[in-house]
Structure 1
């Protein structure tokens, strides 16, 4: 049997076809537009997600007998606000995870309602990307549109709704809405009241590996699929990627270097970072996790290569970097503001430490190291919450760089495991569909059967010592520049 994982990303939807033994049969990607109608805003048309998903499905399943496809699961960009009216029409373009328009709403929630109160309701404080502040923004700035809302959902859940008719979400993705009581896995009546919405506007909650329905017969017929193709609830992109790297169970870690960057630490029980620098979310395996999120990770290197150096020779640029742990140039990777641990949408990128002898390679190195140092910032927040790590899996586009792997291993002083097959949220989505279809009894069982480690990058004591000194300098930079960012 075959299973499909749909990774609904920010720039494209990536579809993966996998056998139940984990062998990948095909991968297809379809891009769509990202709109920036005002500085700091980020929007997309949900209809584009659906249209491009159907387009990709046609090519994806062309390599197998469509009747052998048994399930579909999702991993998707988190936090986006998708609002539908009584006729299931999209009311306005989806407001995405990296949209920064909600500064006033975040301030209202964290300062007037109070961080302690909001965290008590949900396990988290408000961040600019979360869904609840966007609902408040829409209520204040688009009252006529807000009055038409009958359904509120997240991006991947819009796909599930269009494909199955099930108005659903999963606990991992819902955790990032700031509407879920994460500890008790139910909608927070207090947060709903604050946002001026009712529970019947919100989807039914499921575990990520649970079946929410079946592919609509008319869609199944159009692709020559059978009528009992299971639709799994799926997960937020980071939880789905964690499943795809086998980061399930207790005390496991996954570092992601995608458009954004995350450190994802699993736990058997719900716990909150007392400083709220990390997110306390539900995990796709039915348990919980702490997660730090930086808004710009591999996207920093893409910006540097594409926009500044005007080159697509990523590998060649990194080959010019010969000496690690001694670079005197620093880069602050806050190109879209920053979430963990600073929660500062006004933060911006910066180079510091250049002189007349600074080379192109040193600045490229600073970009890569800046992302790694910011990952260390998130790890330090986790350590302050009592987390101790010896190793981590790694995934995302940036994780394909051996140089970046080495930097992460030595700056965090942990072993970095590289998975044999790294297909991110799409792979995790397909694995969740297998569990929903009862091919595996649990997410852990599926991960044990499918995920393996290709190689490990070990920290080197001398390099760890050099990078420790560099990191202690790096960690002073944001606090020094914080007031300047506010003025800018």
Structure 2
């Protein structure tokens, strides 16, 4: 290594991002890479930044790698990548799953500066003798190319064909829809990327704040002086309040919005507060607000003709029956919870199993290892209540 890694959230390449955006039309960038917006967080402008600001590092670099691919090189001594992670570089052609020469020319690198692209389930190589002695692994241990976490989680939850949607409500919100071919939003509101499943792609709308709003509320307005409530206790408070939180409505956009409306200036709000509202109502309003935000992104997918038969919930919020039931009522589709709570790890294990020939293919592996633990179905009365409140939620966002 010639320098410390530049993490993906690092926004130092603002000027370089602007340069790229001026030289390539938004439509060309989106249709080629699947990424709706040029941003300094992507590797392409970061490489351009290195070329200008650290020319010695740039000129002496033999390979530009994403973190996962660097770790695989350390394990095997081989340079590799795969389409799910490389979809976020801005120099991968999405349909062809190949490097985009026009972008490489602009940022000043050749193909030999990038690793070979493997399918996510393919073996890159065995662990090296050095790794064997360091970690006590057998040199026959195989290392597969792997996947981005959201796509691996989709695989681990059985989201491998159109109709099943996975959503992860954790600190942020991530939604994944599997599609057979790349789907492009005419308004460029949602990214499209390669799936870790062969011949599949994903749409993955997201929001920057989600379950973290509950942490904010718990820490800012504690009920216990000696210790913090766990989230299970907090969510039980929400169950004591009827749908709609007796007129209290929240917006969960504490750090801006992403999909379907990119607005970094948007902020959170509580509206409709009265003397009857207690701590329980505020918790309920926040939980419902996150469910409404999820519906916004599900509706975005439906507007692009993506079928939504069921939703499988992942992340910390999937531990709460209260929240899952609210989501089913707000979305008006069944919400399921996989038996394995660590879906991304299971998805990675499936890829490893296919690569090591433990399974004949991904479909066989999914049938054998992916099970549904719980299902929640919408109640018509609650669906009707939430339909009106959801419209109020959308209207409130537009007004604020």
The verdict on a shared fold, with TM-score over 0.5 as the criterion, is yes
> 224, 235, 241: which is aligned to 1:323?
241
Which residue does the alignment assign to 1:378? 297
For 2:77 and 2:325, the matched residues in 1 are separated by 46
Q: Once the two structures are superposed, what CA deviation does each residue of 1:423-447 show, in whole Å capped at 9, x if it has no partner?
A: 1322211111000001112112111
> 200, 211, 234: which is aligned to 2:123?
211
Higher relative contact order structure (alpha carbons within 8 Å, sequence separation ≥ 6): 1
- CA shift, 1:377, in A, is 1.3
- CA shift, 1:368, in A, is 1.8
- CA shift, 1:296, in A, is 2.1
CA 1:429–1:340 in 2, change beyond 3 Å: closer, same or farther? Answer: same
For 1:248 and 1:232, the matched residues in 2 are separated by 19
For 1:221 and 1:113, the matched residues in 2 are separated by 48
Which residue does the alignment assign to 1:55? none
> 137, 159, 162: which is aligned to 2:71?
159
Local SS of the residue matching 1:320: helix
Per mean C-alpha deviation after superposition, the further-off stretch among 149-158 and 346-355 is 346-355
Local SS of the residue matching 1:468: helix
Q: Once the two structures are superposed, what CA deviation does each residue of 1:221-280 show, in whole Å capped at 9, x if it has no partner?
A: 333322111101110000010111111133322111123211111122222222221211
1:183 aligns with 2:95: yes
Which residue does the alignment assign to 1:124? 35
> 165, 173, 187: which is aligned to 1:253?
165
2:241–2:284: 8 Å Cα contact kept in structure 1? no
Where structure 2 has 5 or more consecutive residues not aligned to the other structure, the ranges are: none
Count of matched residue positions in the alignment of Structure 1 and Structure 2:
392
Local SS of the residue matching 2:24: helix
Which residue does the alignment assign to 2:358? 439
Query: Normalized against structure 1, the TM-score is what?
Result: 0.74
For 1:458 and 1:132, the matched residues in 2 are separated by 44
Q: Once the two structures are superposed, what CA deviation does each residue of 1:404-440 show, in whole Å capped at 9, x if it has no partner?
A: 2112211111101111112132221111100000111
For 1:367 and 1:127, the matched residues in 2 are separated by 31
Which residue does the alignment assign to 2:211? 298
For 1:231 and 1:367, the matched residues in 2 are separated by 42
1:475 aligns with 2:388: no
2:218–2:228: 8 Å Cα contact kept in structure 1? yes
For 1:479 and 1:109, the matched residues in 2 are separated by 31
For 1:398 and 1:426, the matched residues in 2 are separated by 17
1:246–1:444: 8 Å Cα contact kept in structure 2? no
1:417–1:453: 8 Å Cα contact kept in structure 2? yes
For 1:144 and 1:476, the matched residues in 2 are separated by 53
- CA shift, 1:144, in A, is 5.9
Superposition pairs for residues 71-470 of structure 1, below 5 Å? Answer: 89=1, 91-96=3-8, 98-99=9-10, 109-110=20-21, 113-126=24-37, 128=39, 129-139=41-51, 145-286=57-198, 287-309=200-222, 311-321=228-238, 322-327=240-245, 328-470=247-389
Instruction: Name the structure where strand makes up a greater proportion of residues.
Output: 1
Local SS of the residue matching 2:250: strand
For 1:331 and 1:101, the matched residues in 2 are separated by 34
For 1:333 and 1:131, the matched residues in 2 are separated by 30
Local SS of the residue matching 1:345: coil
Local SS of the residue matching 1:272: coil
CA 1:456–1:355 in 2, change beyond 3 Å: closer, same or farther? Answer: same
Where structure 1 has 5 or more consecutive residues not aligned to the other structure, the ranges are: 1-88, 482-488
For 1:184 and 1:157, the matched residues in 2 are separated by 20
CA 1:276–1:229 in 2, change beyond 3 Å: closer, same or farther? Answer: same
- CA shift, 1:103, in A, is 5.7
For 2:399 and 2:58, the matched residues in 1 are separated by 40
Query: Normalized against structure 2, the TM-score is what?
Result: 0.89
